[in-house]
Structure formats: C-alpha cells, structure tokens
A and B are shown apart, each in its own frame.
Chain A
Amino acid sequence: MLLVSAALVIGAMSGACAAGVPQIVHARQNHFKTLGRTFKSLRDQIGRSHPKWNLVADDANRIEHLAAALSSWFPAGSGAGSGVRTRASATIWSQPQLFARAARKLLNRAQDVHRAAAGRDLRALRLRARALGQACGSCHRRFRAHGSWW
C-alpha cells in the first residue's frame, strides 16, 4: 500500500521532476510571452480597417495551438511551493477540474477566433477576439496570484 502511494506521488510529480522546476516555470513563462505577443499582433491587425489576413490567419493558428497545449504547462509540483518564483496560483492544483474547464473554454474561444479568421469576417473576428480576451481575463482573476499588468 505504501509502495502504491509512493508510486502515485512520484507519478504526479514526474512532469515537474523530469525537466526540473526552474526550467518548467521558465518554459511556461516563455509560452505565455509568445501567447501574449501573438494576441497583441492579432489585436493590432483587427484594429485596422484593412487587416493583413495572412498575418491574422498565422496568429489565429498559433493561438489555437498554444491554447490547446496550455494545461500541459502546469505539471504538479511547479507551483509557488516549489521554491521557484511564479505567479501561478495554488488554485490551479487544488482545483484541477476548475482549471481544466477554464483551459477548455480558452481553447473553444481560440477555435472560434480561428474560424472567424479563416472566414475573413472582420466584424465576427473582433467579437470572437473580445470573447477570447475575456476568457484570458477571467482565468487570470482565478489562477494568477497577481494582476496581469505586472
């Protein structure tokens, strides 16, 4: 029984242990920077009267891929208790179903953006991008230990 418990704990921690927590947190931060940079690029384009649709399509595609991978950036043991400075809230690991639901919502909204971008419908794209931004904001409020400005 003891061995089974130990195996479960080790299994849960394996994601964090394989690469080392600092590397995981660093990679996660880089993923979010890429996501932020891509969101901004998309937002800059849809703020124009005549966006460059090839750039919009690239950004929408990248956002969808990143959103699909997002939940895997948070292996158990890579939170604030690991000793590495991170703004990821402990709620991510204490309420995993809630976090998984938020990640799914983000992915759904990213897919909506991708569809609107493929259809080159600027009005729909602006609405979908706003909904995507709201998904980001609501996630930050629940799962980020600090405001998203700094």
Chain B
Amino acid sequence: MTANSAASERVRVWDLPTRLAHWTIVILFGICWWSGETDHMHWHRLAGYGVLGAVLFRLVWGFCGGETARFSSFVRGPAATFRYARKLLGHDGVDSPSTLGHNPLGALSIAVMLGLLLAQTVFGLFAVNVDGIASGPFARWVSFETGRRFAHWHAANFQLLLVLLGVHLTAIGFYRFARNESLVPAMIHGRKWRAPGGEAPYFVPWWRAVLLAAAIIICLTVLLNMRG
C-alpha cells in the first residue's frame, strides 16, 4: 500500500494504550540491557518491574482492548500463517484488509515476543546474582543455587530476545523497502493508509485502559513488597 496516494484513506489502526505499551517496553528493554551489562542492579530491577507491568498490560489488553489489539483479531493458525508467508514472498501481494492490524507473521512474532518477555521477567524475579545481594524480589523463596540457575536462564533467554529483536527489525526493514509500508510511524501516531472502503476497526473507551493499568500497578506493588 502506498502512503499518501490519492486513492487512499487514512484510518486509525492502533489505540493509544497499545502504542504506549509497545514504546514503554522498547525503552525499558533498553534500560534493562544497559543496567544488566553495567551491573546497575537497582535500575535493572526497577526497569524489569516496568517491563513486567507493560507485558501484563498488553496481554490483558489483548482480550479487552480495541479490535487491532485483540489476540482474537490477529492470531492465526499455522496453515494461515504459512499461506500468508508464501503470498508475501511471492509477488502476488497480500490483501489489504487482513494487514491493517498485525499480519499473521507479525502475530506469531508478537506471541513469541510477549512469551519470552514474560519468561524473562519471571526468571528475573527469582534470579540471584553472583554476590547474593542484588537479587530478584522473590529470590528469598529459592536457594542460592536455584537462584543462580534462574539467573542463567535469564541470561540465555536474553540472547533469544536479542535474536527476536533482530528478526523484528529486519521485518520492519523488509516492509519499508520491499513493500513500501512504514510500520514505525504507524506505531507512533496510530494511523495507516489504505485503499478506500472496508470497515474501520473498533476501539474501546480510554478509562478501560486506565483501570487496567491501575489494577496491574496495585497488584505488582503489593506482590513485590511482600515480606516473608
């Protein structure tokens, strides 16, 4: 789809909560990376709690958010994903309505990304670093050896996340240069160009996101401050 062409219309695709969750994860992932590599564990923990909150928000938003944020609107089975990939690599094009939100390959990437990020934060909650002091908040429930094992899983899973991040960025480049679709601006302002016609996606009231964010912040604050 070519942006700004005369026969195109601009439609709202991504709601604000979805975009905020996405960019929050991007920024906090960067802080976690830096603080983990440089041993700034106080910042690492705080940023990690933020990632956990944002991932939980995105997961629940996938069931109660706007149409394009809902898993039911974009998660497809293996056959549909394979068909889409074949169509994408061929030159017969992919029909526009199905790619207004996440396409089936993007959906797969999101499911894996959210799963790995959730696993990463959970491993971090129980991880114990080598000095035994800078540890996750739940490390007191496991032994030093088990906590070290969680730390190693935390490190191995981070490598998987880096690979997935590379695939994600490559896909963005592919859509930009091979298909002339800019995905990044759409994730900033929330709008995309498309051929006229077809239904616009539905969205839900903003207070639903505020309530959900407040519930997640309260739950995490209580959980992370529990004392044995």
Which residues of A are interface residues toward B (Cβ below 8 A)?
32-33, 35-41, 43-44, 47-49, 129, 132-133, 136-137, 140-141, 144, 147-150
Asked if A36 meets B140 with Cβ closer than 8 Å, knowing A47-B228, A137-B41, A147-B39, the reply is no
Judge whether A48 and B135 touch: CB under 8 Å: no
- Against A, the Cβ 8 Å flags (1 = close, 0 = not) of B98-136 are 000000000000000000000000000001111111110
Residues of B within 8 A of A32 (CB): 130-131
B208: min CB distance to chain A, Å: 36
Judge whether A147 and B134 touch: CB under 8 Å: no
For chain B, the bracket of interface size reads 20 to 34
A36: min CB distance to chain B, Å: 4
Please measure, in the bound complex, the distance between the C-alpha atom of A39 and the C-alpha atom of B128, giving whole angstroms: 10
Give the residue among A36, A48, A141 with the most B Cβ atoms within 10 A.
A36
Among B40, B144, B154, point to the contact of A36 (Cβ < 8 A): B144
**A-B interface pairs (CB < 8 A), number:** 80
- Shortest Cβ-Cβ A-B pairs, 5 listed: A39-B132, A40-B132, A36-B132, A133-B133, A150-B155
Please measure, in the bound complex, the distance between the C-alpha atom of A141 and the C-alpha atom of B40, giving whole angstroms: 9
Judge whether B134 and A47 touch: CB under 8 Å: no
17 contacts between A and B (CB under 8 A): A33-B144, A36-B132, A40-B132, A40-B139, A44-B140, A44-B228, A47-B228, A132-B133, A137-B40, A137-B134, A140-B39, A141-B39, A147-B36, A147-B39, A148-B129, A149-B127, A150-B155
Residues of A within 8 A of B133 (CB): 39-40, 43, 129, 132-133, 136
B160: min CB distance to chain A, Å: 14
Judge whether B132 and A35 touch: CB under 8 Å: yes
Asked if A136 meets B38 with Cβ closer than 8 Å, knowing A40-B147, A149-B129, the reply is no
